[in-house]
A and B are shown apart, each in its own frame.
Chain A
């Protein structure tokens, strides 16, 4: 009896002092056979489930690209919907392997959450959506307006800063989820709905009469959105970071999901390096040599992903703008794969 008690206490002690953070995310993911990816609860264009429960969107494709690079199978992803306020806890607690959920990169989030941003998948900025019937043409005319916002976002703080800086009064009503916020805006509880501009276009589609609403021209903040991983696992950090870079590089080199096999046969030194017939860059990451081919075959290059989810080929129809490649007037730039 006594020995049992002792064994039990020892087991308990071991269990309690075990590290909560596993430094070997790649191994964990491989053992599990599926990538756990934190996404939003439904934001068209970025991450939203369709009527069959399949997730689509820009953020979703980032997860699928990583799954493709690891398993050569973009379907081996378990999508975990997270609200704005509990997304970081889900990442910290190890419930998800990465957070790919239109999350703004800020200094305090990078330093105090025990997590790192791996790059920028979408350069965004905060804007305002209003009813056309209000006859407002500028955000500076919004004095004394009521503003609906989703709680737990940088949006709330930008809003406070903007109205304070412009000496305007306002009333903020903060809701738990995106859908509740949009519903309250539609019910007339507030005059203005504010979030990242891409989100405004996406949410406008959810309204009964999208054409009765307009996005104001002002962009009041910088919102670089990107995926996050936990501190303390540099290999995993590299994999997530370079998956995005691989997509951007593929666009730069004109490699698409349709022509990737032909491009791989070409005698171009840069293409050979990127597509794995020369060097062992994929293996340096802990992946395979053909990692870029796997990614591009599964989801396409950055342009294909953008176009399909938020760009001209989608209901959102957002211009590339800042998200164009660096040599086409945008900010998307990938360090060389060599």
Chain B
């Protein structure tokens, strides 16, 4: 009888057993696999069943409709679009409209939210009451009503196109929106943009260098005169050499409305206002909680160093608070993006309105269109949350926590 040493079991196998089986060991692993198989089978059944039923009922299926002509118009398009473009282009137009309102909304909501939070924390009685009233009022009213309120308030306050409010005869405000002169590219546009980009890159490089100098050698370099030269000076010089980069096309009253120029539609304004003020109320509370989570000794330490309240907040408290703020802040960003789908109530052409609304009823292909729309929201949300995770990770790292 040989007495060989028993071989240790494979490391990978052990890992799998511990990960999936837990205390139940290999039996647990088997159950897990069986469960996954059942789930997969159910998913397969649902899909194949839906397909078969659609076929039985002679309901058109598949994604071929995306190549068909849409045949309807949209009043805000970031890419060129006419009624004779395809449903796929409508899809893209809708995504871009959703994205633009979300991004602008997120920026405003963050700014307003921080300001309100600082108001609430302010030692000034009036300011802190204003902050409190804002939060309690806004976050306790349904968002849909706020959207409708802003829309009807914006519309009611504005005159019709023939009585537009003129801003120095250049821009106009009426109930069709804000009409501003639009830039039209000229021959000098290419070099101008190239130089502008170069200026920005050079400035960033300079900033990087200056920061390194500060952290490593304690040397303070004043960079703003150079940055100014790079960003303003360089393009100006190119303009002198290559000519004007663009001219402005001024809006003119023609028939029912202004022709020429660019227009911000009131639906966009109302939706952005409602979304950003609403989300700001939640962000304000998150920021306040974050700042309060930093030990009060930090604030006192800042004061005893002779820093002003603002500087202490900016340099000492907020960076530490960010660690607490970022995860719930991500939730609010995601909420704002998803809430933008209420746009259809006021006729803003977002993804839900033009694609899951008009396109759906023109083609009748509910399953495909709803699946695509959900996929887009999921993707936007995952990207947002991914970016915020990276940001949060960087903050934690820089704080050494």
Contact = CB atoms under 8 A, between A and B. Distances in A.
Partners in one complex: yes
Interface of A: 9, 12-13, 16-17, 19-21, 84-89, 92, 108-109, 111-114, 134, 142-146, 148, 151-153, 156-157, 159-161, 164, 170-176, 180-181, 183-184, 187-189, 191, 230-232
A176 B353 contact: yes
Contact of A176 (B344, B362, B363): B344
Nearest to B158: A188
A174 B349 contact: yes
Interface residues of B, number: 48
B347 A112 contact: no
A175 B60 contact: no
Nearest to A134: B256
A225 B152 CA distance: 33
Given A187-B155, A231-B57, A144 B361 contact: no
A85 B255 contact: no
Given A21-B56, A21-B57, A175 B347 contact: yes
B73 A172 contact: yes
A85 B370 CA distance: 12
A17 B42 CA distance: 11
B256 A112 contact: no
Nearest to B44: A16
Contacts of A21: 53, 56-57
Contacts of B363: 108, 112
A171 B176 contact: yes
A175 B175 contact: no
- For the complex of A and B, 8 pairs with smallest distance between CB atoms: A152-B361, A114-B59, A114-B57, A112-B60, A160-B83, A156-B72, A113-B364, A144-B255
B256 A146 contact: yes
B75 interface: yes
Interface in B188-212: none
Contacts of B364: 88, 92, 108-109, 112-114
Contact of B73 (A144, A160, A230): A160
Contacts of A160: 71-73, 83
A172 B74 contact: yes
A164 B155 contact: no
Given A113-B59, A145-B257, 7 more contacts: A88-B364, A88-B366, A114-B54, A151-B344, A152-B360, A171-B176, A176-B357
A13 B71 contact: no
